[in-house]
Amino acid sequence: MVFSCVENTNSPLGVVGVPLDHTSTYRPGTRFAPMRIREASCNIELYSVASGLFLEEVGFRDYYDLVLPPGSLEQVARYIELGLGNIVKDSNRLLIILGGEHLLTYFSVKHFLKDVDTFIVFDAHLDTRNEYLGSRLNHATFLRRLLEECSDLNVIHIGSRAYSKEELEFAKSSRIKLYNVLSSLRGKVELEDIGRVYISIDMDVFDPAYAPGVSNPEPLGLDLMSFIEILKQIYARSSKVIGVDIVEVNPLVDINNITSILAAKVALEVAGLYLARNST
């Protein structure tokens, strides 16, 4: 099954699944998300509300799922690097990555780094712990590792509301531009020219009323229209969106596939805005 069930090998829109589930802690199961999101995408209308475009006229180039080895993260990193490298080399299309846990963003951002000016994260959590459960590289630490290793990366974090004291203190002392959930809901996210952008969307940024099927749900989240308005602003202020990942959908704890359907819709809106932005 391909994303949207409308495959077009010449489409400017690419999709790949990265079923990473190696460091999930509270509720594992994100490895099953890419195929469940594809299934949902084939059963909703392929219309982008934000752009007003009908995406069945464009379709998607689906690269299917990367096959990830069990065992060490070093091996996983090599497979992700090789997989993304082959896909990006294939074309200059927008790549939408379906996760998988949020650690995959650590690997994908490092892959795209030379082409990215601004990294934008939608997430309930900051993921800036120095270590978590004895590990320094996992879904709760990936952003701190990126900040340490990528000194020129501009980071904007949107929708947060769940912190440890350590994380919040680190974020405030770092170069992260932080818009918590209250700022996001009140329309106070104000972006300047942000250049070439990579976007990571952790589905737990949404309130559990909209996205119950995530590994680490947090109440008091974003609503859908606030998210769309911020997404539109990102496209308006960027010179190009290089890549987008959608992570932390967990079908094993979802209710009636609500979260997978929402993730598919988010992918369609991301794609529609990309087409609209690049047709002007």
What is the tens place of the pLDDT at every residue in 114-154? Answer: 899 999 999 999 999 999 988 889 999 999 999 999 988 99
133 or 273, greater pLDDT: 273
Q: Residue 64: in which H helix or E strand, if any?
A: strand 61-65
What dihedral do alpha carbons 252, 62, 142, 131 form, nearest 10°? 40
Mean pLDDT across 175-190: 93
Q: What is the distance between the alpha carbons of residues 244 and 280, in angstroms, rounded to a whole number?
A: 21
Which pLDDT score is estimated for 4?
Answer: 98
- The letter for the amino acid at 276 is A
Q: How far from 256 is each of 143, 151, 177, 251, CA to CA, in Å? A: 31, 42, 36, 9
* Whole-angstrom distance, CA of residue 106 vs CA of residue 21: 14
Total domain count, the chain: 1
CB 19 within 8 A of CB 65: yes
The total number of residues written for the chain in this structure: 280
Per-residue pLDDT tens over the stretch 63-92: 999 999 988 889 999 999 999 988 876 567
pLDDT(251) > 70: yes
Identity of the amino acid at 78: R
Please give the Cα distance from 97 to 111 (Å, whole number). 13
Summary mean pLDDT of the chain: 94
258 Cβ contact list (under 8 Å, min separation 6) = 210, 211, 212, 213
Domain CATH code at residue 191: 3.40.800.10
Burial class (CB in 10 A: 0-12, 13-18, 19+), 258: middle
User: Per mean pLDDT, which range of 39-48, 67-76, 192-201, 259-268 is the poorest?
Assistant: 67-76
Provide the residue range defining the domain that includes 140.
Answer: 3-278
| Model confidence pLDDT, tens digit, residues 6-56 | 999 999 999 999 999 999 988 999 999 999 999 999 999 999 999 999 999
How far the first Cα of the chain sits from its last, in Å, is 32
Q: Per residue in 210-226, is it b (16+ CB within 10 Å) or e — as a string? A: bbbbbbbbbeebbebeb
pLDDT band of residue 280 (cuts 50, 70, 90) is low
